[in-house]
Structure 1
């Protein structure tokens, strides 16, 4: 780190970069932390309370850290450990963190307490923690005399943590529905065949998405019809396709049994059978397993059930330049009888993936 100097705003930008290095999957959020040297002389603004009033002068970077996944030190603890290893005293320092320091004891002690014990004099965070079990760190710090500023780079922090923030606030997983269709809206031909509507680039992209989620869910009918493996695979530098390092939980929804020889029972993530057709029960079960993000991959019955229950947060719609004319539709009857009652989403991204197109949309409101 040497003699690097950053403003608080610049330190938050760096903290966001560090946070993005952490895994997108898992029960914990991606968080980054940068420790800045104490302000001196006229740099010290005792009454700072808003993002607009933060110190605009560059200060020396003392240490930094980020959360590397469940069971590892939180970002603040990692930054404090970095400082200790360098023999740096952080008393009077400013901690710039992407998420409000936690105030609860889980696998690790509260970060608010760690910052207090280290003598940090100021904490600047981008996003408030919506998790009722962990929130309250800012209040604990203020009560102990630490200056706290919230909302610096809040929009960027919220964008980075969008999935986790949504799941943590309501206690159930963020739901992404993936579809792969022909131009005329079919997921399979009249004879039931569907491999492959989309091209290899789209399928590779879908596997990269799988490697970022906590669980993949399909209906029991899809298990019988397609015998999916539901693994996340990646192609190595040698050109050989292998299982990705992270394998999401494999979830089958429905009352029908899973065949003994199903590929789901092979190598990959753990297998969970949720024997219900009730969407809320499925989400409650997954939430109890600390699933923050579930990817729905099949088929139309499951997609229709979640859409009808208004339980889909995000759509990943892969569309191939293929025409079938007839076959199995991507979604069944949603009870919509007039255009005013249509289920609408907000498009956040459109990209070309090989010969196919991918549209990413999010629920409105």
Structure 2
């Protein structure tokens, strides 16, 4: 074999080796459940298999997800119990979003009405997000202690943080699991007519404390309309995923999440995409691009 032919064969073999290595790197970097070092640091899950060509940007900030009926109502007063009303594809999206998040936050009312676990179950995920509950007067923990109420968040042994405004709390009286952490935050006097009054937990204070104390870079707010409006009124929301189910409630409970509320919160509508039989509205701060070029590719 001439020196020139030998060099050509070596060059072809090197190219084949490079192509194989590149293909392996691409497979592992975007397989469900795999996280690069950047993804671990930011709390951004790997992209789904069908999004390989649309790399997911590092996701930080606050993502608000709310489910409404076709007319924008939050719940059905005629229902005897709280039931899931969005389609399976929308529920899959919610679990992917949880997997993309360092923490998932809800208010006390959501826990009492739905008794959620807030865990990732419908998509591969290498760790569960931190669960965060806003319970100013610690009513959930008191109901558990005094009345034997059963809430999944407080019994399943996974890490949960409960924010409250009760000073000089005797934690021993609550009989907490080791996985439950209660954090005192002084109540903030709200400004304006559109925010809830009483023992108010500032959304700005909460997001800052979650970042500094627990390392939460991407927070998913999955609470009801009251918690959603709280974060919106304080301009703490970076993007919104608004799921509109295909059904209409018989006795609708209005959510108060109008387009004006979202616009006043500094958000703009990016578009609407189908998700199974439901529709999803995507909103974001004008200066913040969506994590993927195609809206439906994330989460």
Deviation at 1:160, TM superposition (A): 3.2
C-alpha distance 208-244 of structure 1, shift in aligned 2 (>3 A): same
Instruction: Indicate yes or no: 2:132 matched with 1:251.
Output: yes
Distance 2:131 2:103 in 1: 6
C-alpha distance 256-25 of structure 1, shift in aligned 2 (>3 A): farther
Aligned to 1:29, the other structure's residue is in SS state helix
Instruction: Indicate yes or no: 2:212 matched with 1:323.
Output: no
Distance 2:157 2:34 in 1: 18
Structure-1 residue corresponding to 2:153 = 264
Deviation at 1:205, TM superposition (A): 2.3
Give a deviation string over 1:74-128, Cα, whole Å, max 9, x none.
Answer: xxxxxxxxxxxxxxxxxxxxxxxxxxxxxxxxxxxxxxxxxxxxxxxxxxxxxxx
Q: Report the aligned-residue RMSD.
A: 3.8
More helix per residue: 1 or 2? 2
Aligned to 2:284, the other structure's residue is in SS state strand
Question: How many positions carry a matched residue from both structures?
Answer: 218
Aligned to 1:210, the other structure's residue is in SS state helix
Distance 1:187 1:211 in 2: 24
Distance 1:284 1:14 in 2: 39
TM-score after normalising by structure 2 = 0.60
TM-score after normalising by structure 1 = 0.50
Structure-1 residue corresponding to 2:228 = 303
Aligned to 2:210, the other structure's residue is in SS state helix
Which one scores higher on RCO, CA 8 angstroms, separation ≥ 6? 2
C-alpha distance 300-22 of structure 1, shift in aligned 2 (>3 A): same
Deviation at 1:25, TM superposition (A): 7.6
* Contact 1:217-1:250 at 8 Å conserved across structures: yes
C-alpha distance 207-2 of structure 1, shift in aligned 2 (>3 A): farther
Deviation at 1:308, TM superposition (A): 0.5
C-alpha distance 356-228 of structure 1, shift in aligned 2 (>3 A): same
Deviation at 1:319, TM superposition (A): 1.0
Deviation at 1:12, TM superposition (A): 11
C-alpha distance 24-183 of structure 1, shift in aligned 2 (>3 A): farther
* Contact 2:239-2:267 at 8 Å conserved across structures: no
Distance 1:340 1:274 in 2: 28
Structure-2 residue corresponding to 1:345 = 268
More strand per residue: 1 or 2? 1
Structure-2 residue corresponding to 1:211 = 99
* Contact 1:301-1:332 at 8 Å conserved across structures: no
Distance 1:14 1:245 in 2: 20
Stretches of structure 1 lacking an aligned partner (at least 5 in a row): 31-68, 71-155, 168-173, 236-242
C-alpha distance 322-229 of structure 1, shift in aligned 2 (>3 A): same
Structure-2 residue corresponding to 1:229 = 117
Structure-2 residue corresponding to 1:161 = 57
Give a deviation string over 1:151-179, Cα, whole Å, max 9, x none.
Answer: xxxxx99x73341xxx4xxxxxx111111
Deviation at 1:314, TM superposition (A): 1.1
C-alpha distance 202-228 of structure 1, shift in aligned 2 (>3 A): same
Match of 1:278 among 191, 202, 217: 202
Distance 2:58 2:161 in 1: 26
* Contact 1:234-1:244 at 8 Å conserved across structures: no
Deviation at 1:304, TM superposition (A): 0.3
* Contact 2:102-2:218 at 8 Å conserved across structures: yes
Instruction: Indicate yes or no: 2:68 matched with 1:181.
Output: yes
